[in-house]
Amino acid sequence: MNIRTDTKIKLSMGVSISVIAVGVAILAFWTPSRAQFFFSMGLIVAGMLIFTILLHATTKPETELVADERIARINERAGNSAYWMVLISMTILFGSDRAWSIGIEIADMYYAAMFVGIISRNILRWYYNRKGDVIQ
């Protein structure tokens, strides 16, 4: 396992370890309320996730980290299509709520937009990668 010595990755790893330390400090030294507990646990989990992602990135060769033109165009096209799918689904949700007074709250629309965006972008990336031609 060859670990690269990229300074940006080292700096980011230091920041993630600092986030974990701040979460532990909040959890250990201040009076624990329910909000502080969840905040500190969120910091600890986020720091650990960032650290593992960066550790994984340091073990990859540098040629694997740079996306070639084909992958970049696939990501752009999938992101553009996912944007329009999210926009149309939010328009339909908002219009149906206005027309029939369903009672959809803004938080529900937010979670629906996140779900539709993430799932559609991943599916479209897979589809455009399998399709082969991304030239418009």
Does pTM top 0.75 for this prediction? no
Please report which confidence band the pLDDT of residue 13 belongs to, taking 50, 70 and 90 as the band edges: confident
pLDDT in tens, 84-133: 999 998 999 888 888 888 888 888 888 888 898 999 999 999 998 887 65
* CA distance linking residue 2 with residue 128, whole number of Å: 33
Would the pLDDT of 53 be above 70? yes
Q: What is the DSSP string of the chain?
A: -PPP--HHHHHHHHHHHHHHHHHHHHHHHS---HHHHHHHHHHHHHHHHHHHHHHHHHHS-HHHHS--HHHHHHHHHHHHHHHHHHHHHHHHHHHHHHHH-----HHHHHHHHHHHHHHHHHHHHHHHHHH-----
Virtual CA dihedral for 56, 61, 66, 69, nearest 10 degrees? -120
* CA distance linking residue 97 with residue 90, whole number of Å: 10
pLDDT in tens, 19-43: 888 888 887 777 667 778 888 888 8
Domain extents in the chain: 7-65, 69-131
